[in-house]
Amino acid sequence: MLFGANCSSCHGATGGGGVGPALAGGAVLKTFADPVDQVHWVVTGSAGAKGGVYGDSGKPSKGGMPSFGVSKTLTLAEIVDVVRHERETLSGEKFDEATAKKWAGLGRLVTDPELDGLFTQAEVTEILTEMSTETGVPIDTGAAS
C-alpha cells in the first residue's frame, strides 16, 4: 500500500503520528477541511507552505514534508488514493455528496501557477470519474475545470 511505503515512517503505521503529525482520528480533517488542499500539500510538501504555514489553522511548517508530486515520486492518482486513505480509513470521513462536491475542485491543481502545468485536465477528469464509479456518488467533473 502506498501509505505504508511513503507515509508511515513519519506519520505512523496507523496514522497516529510520530516525526510527522497525526493523521488519524479526524486530525487530518481538522488540518484540511478541503481534500484538494490536502492533495496540494502532499504534491508540494513543505516547499509549498505559504508564509511558513500550512493547513486551515496555519500550522507552522517545520520543513520535513517531502514533495511527492513535484518530485514525481507519486502520480496525482496515487496521491489522491493516499489522501482518501488518510481521510476515509484513518479519519472516518464518509464519502457523500458534500465530500464529492469538495473533490470536484481537484481541477484547481491544473491551473495553479505554483504547479506550473504539472497535471492535466484529462488526468483530473479520469481520477474523478473513477472515484465516482468506485463510490457510487456522482461527482461533477465539469466543476473540476
User: Residue 105, SS3?
Assistant: helix
pTM over 0.75: yes
Nearest 5°: the CA angle 61, 62, 66 is 85
Domain that holds residue 134: 2-144
How far is residue 119's CA from residue 110's CA, in Å, rounded to a whole number?
5
User: Residue 52, SS3?
Assistant: helix
How far is residue 113's CA from residue 103's CA, in Å, rounded to a whole number?
20
For the record, the C-alpha cell of 91 comes out as: 479519519
Q: How far is CA 122 from the centre of its chain?
A: 18
- Work out how many domains the chain is built from and give that number: 1
Rg (CA), the chain: 14
What does the pLDDT profile of the chain (145 residues) look like in tens digits? Answer: 788 788 999 999 999 999 999 999 999 999 999 999 999 999 999 998 888 899 998 999 988 999 999 989 999 999 999 999 999 999 999 999 999 999 999 999 999 999 999 999 999 999 999 999 999 999 998 765 5
